Amino acid sequence: MESALTLDHFLIVSGFLFAIGLAGVLVRRNIIVIFMCLELMLSAANLTLVAFSRFNVHEGQPSYEGHVLLFFIITVAAAEVAVGLAIIVALYRSRETTDVGKLNTMKN
């Protein structure tokens, strides 16, 4: 079945998603929301990877290398979120805030 979708469609959605994440990182003050926006940017990159691997058809099969890379990215992102949230909790314990405007020194 011939589809009207082109690589452009997916790349532009991915670009917009990345831009939204970037805007969130720049605008928001809450460190947890900033962290969520980082995950959003990571997901936008994932969409680009899958789109390129799907459009790189070789002998009737898409290239699966992109999917393997994505598997690793998702694993590393899960580890990163766990460690990042632990750091945020430790930070909240010592400072009682999640506002990045108030978290401006490393020492107490």
In a 13 Å sphere around the CA of 55, the CA atoms on its Cβ side amount to 13
Q: How far is the CB of 3 from another protein (least distance, A)?
A: 4
Taking the least distance from each CB to another protein, the nearer of 1 and 105 is 1
Q: How far is the CB of 96 from another protein (least distance, A)?
A: 10
Does residue 74 belong to the site contacting another protein (CB under 8 A)?
yes
Give the helix/strand (H/E) hosting 31.
helix 31-55
Does residue 12 belong to the site contacting another protein (CB under 8 A)?
yes
Asked if 14 and 63 touch (Cβ cutoff 8 Å), the reply is no
Among residue numbers 13 through 72, which ones bind another protein (CB under 8 A)? 13, 15-24, 26-30, 32-33, 35-37, 39-40, 43, 46-47, 50-51, 53-55, 57, 60-62, 64-65, 67-68, 70-72
Quote the CA–CA distance of 18 and 97 in Å, as a whole number. 27
Taking the least distance from each CB to another protein, the nearer of 11 and 103 is 11
DSSP secondary structure, 60-108, as one string: TB--SHHHHHHHHHHHHHHHHHHHHHHHHHHHHHHHS--BTTT---S--
Taking the least distance from each CB to another protein, the nearer of 13 and 105 is 13
Does residue 99 belong to the site contacting another protein (CB under 8 A)?
yes
